[in-house]
Structure 1
Amino acid sequence: MPSLWMMKAKTNVLIQQKKARIQNRFRRDSWEGTKGFELSPRRERFEEEEEEGRGMRWLPLLPAVFALVALILAFCCLLAGSRPGYMDDYALLTLDTSFIGLDLVKPPTNNTSSPEATPLSALVNPLLSTSQSIFNKLTSFFAKRAGIQDLYSIHMTNYCYGTYNQNLTSTSPAKQTTGCSTRTVLFAFDPLPILQHAFDKANITLSVQELNWPKALQDNIAYLKTIAHIAVAGYSIAIAFSFFTIFTCAYRVSPYSAGSRRVVALAFGFAGVACAGLWGASVMVTLLMDKGKGLVDRYGAPVGITVVRGNGFLGLTWGATLVAFAGVVAVGGECCRRRNREAIKVFFEK
């Protein structure tokens, strides 16, 4: 005669087997819709969404499109002005030196005090008995002969120079870029070599080191160089990680990825780094424009040099940042959507 504990164990086994058969039958009926049972409304909605998801398999490519646009805009920021006629209007700063030297040297007066010492005034001091108009013509002639151009456009990797041509059909003169400097990755605009080249071209035995540049001016130029190098590094990082984002999104829709959520998370990380690089570069460029304009207004305005900010370049770089951020949002939405679908699927399988 079986003992009590054996009967209890056998009863538990039978109950577990019966429960398993009921669960398997309910699962089969609710998922496959056999006779006598109707599909769960939640399961029907899930299947409809799954069918729509199969037809929207191209959605993971949307972040790749945003990354591609941001990549192109970042390249444009780096390559703008790399040669004459290529995106000349997208400069960081444009220096107008067409009026340099005018009203710089004052005509002689009865004042016995010594005139203010400047580099150009030291060259024409023997002519102090001439009228003001003669002085203006002489200083302008010196600037032209020395090779000082009418304008200098500062870009990310080089600078361009040119002249102003008066158009009979327009009241404002037209800019004509005549040449550009050699393009380098770690470029930073420095007026000292340009001025030294002008002296050498005019056969003037004068070194820019003898002009006693203000210490604050030299420090600010070095500060602007550092900002420019950081901005170039930001654009380079954005370009590299935009490439990685495009490759990852393309791999995501390929049959080799098997829809892994790790691939989506990896694309999200790449897109985030690219967006951060563009944001940092845009902030540095904005700071460089503001600081450079203030520097030219302070030290260049007294000698006839004016500066114009590159609002076109500013819109270009911040537009690239917004597009990169849209790519981050798109990848994040895809990641959350996939996680939600996996949670629903696990719920139905229980």
Structure 2
Amino acid sequence: MKNLSVIFPIAASIAAFVLVLLALLAGQNPGFMEDYDVISFNTSALGKNLVLNAAKDDEPTPTGGGFCSDLPGFLGKGCATATAAIGSIESAIVSEVNDIANDIADHLSAELGIHQFYSLHALSICEGSFSPNATANGATRNVTRCIKGATEGYNISAIIDHQLQIGPFELGIDDLGFDDELQSAMDTLNSAIKAFVILLSISVALTGLSLLTSIAGFIRYTRPVLIVNVVIASLAFIMLLACSLVITIGARKAATEVTEKGDDIGLYATAGSKYTAITWAAVGLMFVTFAYWLWQVIRFKNGKTDLHRQTKRSPRDSEEAGAEKPNLHGIRFSKGRRSRR
């Protein structure tokens, strides 16, 4: 009877393979696992610094009231009252201008000819707008297009720059305040994404191979098959662990740096928590698979598996198996001569 416990690593390998495959294919088409992005960029307020700077330039010049104290009697009191009234009007105007600027900043992406968000996946970059709007609580994403990041590159700044240049104002990211430090953070993210995709692709292959060898271990439960399973499962586990570390550390670091350096121009980034969750879940499942096969190799070596016991026979069993069979028809053999009772 086959060792039915082998079904356990087969199930774990299937689950791990499905998770890493989804991690690789997420975002391939608009709406397919859009929430499972490596990192997303909110560009709905990109260029707000231009609007706010223009609003500051149009602010009324505060009216000075220091000379009122130099006036005698009721003239000084009247001057102070008038100055306070004018200052109140100026404050209201400034507040209204800032509110208008903030409202305009929420719709800047459409005016500039860019999208409100860009989400990076393993093999693609998706872009679109927020619904009902970018500043609403619980706003959802409406994806309009996904491009192949693996072939066209993961450089978000280049994509935004291109869309700005063909937009109505023919601007560039330099015009919005994209400095060298911000671009350096984007370049670091690009390198991390490329390394991650290579490791993830290898992980998909090794996890699928581990599934096949686990099935082979169920069909033929021998020591060489067990050793092969340990080797393949350990390689898949190590590769998945490297994947998860690269994308978890790299995406979070890049998101923090981009948000810090891009706050002034309205560029924000968020690392995908759901994406890292499925990659780490795959790591855990593959570790379980590796641990199981390692345990089976150790048990097989010590002769503790049921199947191994069945294949080992004791000398006493051999003697009993080779004992003299009963003679048929009363025939017995003695020194090469046959006699009948």
| Residue of structure 2 in register with 1:243 after alignment | 208
Q: CA deviation at 1:227?
A: 1.4
Question: Are 2:44 and 1:98 aligned?
Answer: yes
Matches of 1:66 and 1:96, distance apart in 2: 37
Matches of 1:231 and 1:195, distance apart in 2: 25
Opposite residue 234 of structure 2, the aligned amino acid is G
| Residue of structure 2 in register with 1:84 after alignment | 30
Provide closer, same or farther for how the CA distance between residues 250 and 186 of structure 1 changes in structure 2, counting only shifts above 3 A. Answer: farther
| Residue of structure 1 in register with 2:230 after alignment | 268
Length-normalised TM-score, structure 1: 0.68
Matches of 1:222 and 1:171, distance apart in 2: 31
Q: CA deviation at 1:86?
A: 0.8
Q: CA deviation at 1:141?
A: 5.7
Q: CA deviation at 1:333?
A: 1.6
Provide closer, same or farther for how the CA distance between residues 213 and 100 of structure 1 changes in structure 2, counting only shifts above 3 A. Answer: closer
Q: Deviations over 1:103-148 (max 9, x none)?
A: 632422659xxxxxxxxxxxxxxxxxx9555655666665313322
Provide closer, same or farther for how the CA distance between residues 138 and 212 of structure 1 changes in structure 2, counting only shifts above 3 A. Answer: closer
Q: Deviations over 1:294-323 (max 9, x none)?
A: 122222211223333321112111111001
Instruction: Describe how 1:218-257 pairs up with structure 2 within 5 A.
Output: 218-254=183-219, 257=220
Q: CA deviation at 1:68?
A: 1.8
Q: CA deviation at 1:73?
A: 0.5
| Residue of structure 2 in register with 1:216 after alignment | 181
Q: Is the contact made by 1:186 and 1:232 (CA closer than 8 Å) also made in structure 2? A: no
Deviates more, 1:331-340 or 1:317-326: 331-340
Matches of 1:102 and 1:218, distance apart in 2: 18
Instruction: Describe how 1:119-138 pairs up with structure 2 within 5 A.
Output: 131-132=97-98
Question: Are 2:269 and 1:310 aligned?
Answer: no
Matches of 1:316 and 1:185, distance apart in 2: 25
Q: Is the contact made by 1:157 and 1:188 (CA closer than 8 Å) also made in structure 2? A: no
Question: Are 2:56 and 1:107 aligned?
Answer: yes
Provide closer, same or farther for how the CA distance between residues 90 and 177 of structure 1 changes in structure 2, counting only shifts above 3 A. Answer: same
Q: CA deviation at 1:188?
A: 2.6
Q: Deviations over 1:128-174 (max 9, x none)?
A: xx95556556666653133222222221222212222229xx95333
Provide closer, same or farther for how the CA distance between residues 67 and 189 of structure 1 changes in structure 2, counting only shifts above 3 A. Answer: farther
Identify which of 139, 157, 161 aligns with 1:173.
Answer: 139
| Residue of structure 2 in register with 1:57 after alignment | 3
SS of structure 1 residue aligned to 2:28: coil
Provide closer, same or farther for how the CA distance between residues 209 and 172 of structure 1 changes in structure 2, counting only shifts above 3 A. Answer: closer
Provide closer, same or farther for how the CA distance between residues 208 and 149 of structure 1 changes in structure 2, counting only shifts above 3 A. Answer: closer
Structure 2: runs of 5 or more not aligned: 63-95, 317-341
Matches of 1:159 and 1:230, distance apart in 2: 16
Provide closer, same or farther for how the CA distance between residues 296 and 99 of structure 1 changes in structure 2, counting only shifts above 3 A. Answer: same
| Residue of structure 2 in register with 1:193 after alignment | 159
Instruction: Describe how 1:142-181 pairs up with structure 2 within 5 A.
Output: 143-166=109-132, 172-181=138-147
Matches of 1:276 and 1:335, distance apart in 2: 19
Length-normalised TM-score, structure 2: 0.69
| Residue of structure 2 in register with 1:335 after alignment | 297
Opposite residue 129 of structure 2, the aligned amino acid is T
Deviates more, 1:183-192 or 1:73-82: 183-192
Matches of 2:23 and 2:280, distance apart in 1: 10
Q: Deviations over 1:156-213 (max 9, x none)?
A: 222212222229xx95333222221225278534222322222213261x55567784
Q: How many residues align?
A: 272
SS of structure 2 residue aligned to 1:161: strand
Q: CA deviation at 1:72?
A: 0.8
4+ residue segments displaced more than 4 Å = 130-142, 206-213, 342-350
Give the RMSD, CA atoms, in angstroms: 3.1
Provide closer, same or farther for how the CA distance between residues 143 and 210 of structure 1 changes in structure 2, counting only shifts above 3 A. Answer: closer
Matches of 1:163 and 1:211, distance apart in 2: 20
Matches of 2:43 and 2:174, distance apart in 1: 21
Matches of 2:194 and 2:280, distance apart in 1: 18
Q: Is the contact made by 1:245 and 1:271 (CA closer than 8 Å) also made in structure 2? A: yes
